[in-house]
Structure 1
Amino acid sequence: MCPDTIRCVQSCSVCAMSTSPRQLPTGKLVPLPIPQRPWSHIGVDFVTDLPGSEGNTCILVVVDRFSKMCKFFPLRGLPTALETAEHLFQQLFHHFGLPEEIVSDRGPQFISHVWKAFFKLLGVSVNLSSGYHPQTNGQTERKIQELGGYLRAYCHEDQHSWSRFLPWAEYAQNSLHQDSASLTPFQCVLGYQPPLFPWTEEPSHVPAVDHWFRESVGLSSSPSPAGCSTTQE
């Protein structure tokens, strides 16, 4: 099944147009230290300037460097440094606790004194990627590329529908087997792969329900346009 799926993705014209090219960075590769537990070291970044979708125009992307688990949060606009920190508290840290380190690019939110002071009081180290070597936050950049490919593949007919597909993109990414651990991010963090839609296509005799299940099962079971697992860059 896996080889057939990979061949199908590799021969898919929509996937070919949606995915980003892969190119090795210049210079000496110095990988970040490997974390010892899930969600102790994270990368953050934004996807901006998206078509309006249910009032949202950007996405906050957070990646756990240990498990490669990712979280995608739709936002109504690009937040300030304080709003970004508050959002991480309200949507992420109450699930996994405070991280030891946050890596980001040099966006205005992350170089601000507010961002640095906020996390200094919490004892969280905040580090910035080099302008000449953005691969310091390479896992997050890779997830953003794969997210973009997924959304382009499914939203090419209606670019304003991406908010609706975002949860399925997150589920698909967190269900990919990682070469480094031979586990999915779900399995690495939760200890199991969350089951979804044990549906046998038996009709419910309620057309609206049947339509929802057919559509949702197709989205949740479709492979990522990347067609492969990810590793630390």
Structure 2
Amino acid sequence: MAVVSLDFITGLPPTTSGHDAILVVIDKFSKMGYFIPTHTTARTEETAQLFVRHIISQHGIPTTLISDRDPKFTSKFWKELMSLLGTKLAMSSAYHPQIDGQTERLNQIVEQLLRAACKDEISKWDLHLPILEFAYNNATHAATGQTPFFLCYGRHPLTPQKPTTSATKIHNAFHVQLLKPYRDPNTIFVGHQPPPPPPVLVQNEPEYEVESVLAHRRRRHGAVEFLIRWKGYDPSEVSWVPESDM
């Protein structure tokens, strides 16, 4: 995981374990997602411990960390920690390709999964996060055409199969048309394009090149926004940008 983005889902009902928020982490290349239960009053040090326990321990230290300007991510402790780890911080509301697009879409998916899985156990939603995380990572992502799990590990996870019985009239066999040729895992990623490079920092602010302006709109408060397609990024990562950020 070279480029990773962070965001919080807040405003959730407290669970019996005291969680009322989720730290959402997503890898830009594979789209691998992690849904980590936490609470809105968690200190920066606690958030750092969660990041080390769930991300760094499994995938190593990322080269770039993308986030909004949440006080936890702008604190002196967080900045010094990332500096010691050699991780670049990209914190800006103008980082639209990831923060406003990729991470926000994943947040919406997590919220939809929670509503579907926990409608009868609202006080235990945190217990459902591991299986929801697995379900997301084992589903084909529209932007890559692969599952995040496969792009991250080069293989599909094992999933249990319920034994078939004669009563079901289903045979434990596959039709030949469903079979696919074997591919050596070492050749799967040959020629695969890496993600676009992180932004260029200009006066400590990330900057990106605009490929085209697709549309514009005026908000209720009068502010004008433009729909931007970013050069080098997937068309699905277009985002609305305030006129003041242009």
TM-score norm. by structure 1 comes to 0.65
CA spacing shift, 1:110–1:177, aligned 2, 3 Å? same
CA spacing shift, 1:52–1:158, aligned 2, 3 Å? same
CA spacing shift, 1:119–1:133, aligned 2, 3 Å? closer
2:5·2:98 contact (CA, 8 Å) conserved in 1? no
Alpha-carbon distance, 1:134 to partner: 4.8
The match for 2:81 is 118
The match for 2:7 is 45
CA distance in 1, matches of 2:150, 2:74: 34
CA spacing shift, 1:134–1:232, aligned 2, 3 Å? closer
Q: Is the strand fraction higher in 1 or 2?
A: 2
Alpha-carbon distance, 1:195 to partner: 1.7
Aligned-pair RMSD on alpha carbons?
Answer: 2.2
Is 1:54 the equivalent of 2:16? yes
Identical residues among aligned pairs (%): 33
CA distance in 1, matches of 2:117, 2:27: 25
Alpha-carbon distance, 1:133 to partner: 6.2
CA distance in 1, matches of 2:149, 2:97: 24
CA distance in 1, matches of 2:156, 2:110: 20
Q: Higher relative contact order by CA 8 Å / sep ≥ 6: 1 or 2?
A: 1
TM-score norm. by structure 2 comes to 0.62
Name the aligned partner's letter for residue 149 of structure 2.
F
Aligned residues: 167
What secondary structure is seen at the aligned counterpart in 1 of 2:125?
A: helix
CA distance in 2, matches of 1:52, 1:149: 17
CA distance in 2, matches of 1:147, 1:80: 23
Give structure 2 stretches of 5+ with no counterpart.
166-235, 239-246
What secondary structure is seen at the aligned counterpart in 2 of 1:86?
A: helix
Name the aligned partner's letter for residue 8 of structure 2.
F
Alpha-carbon distance, 1:129 to partner: 2.9
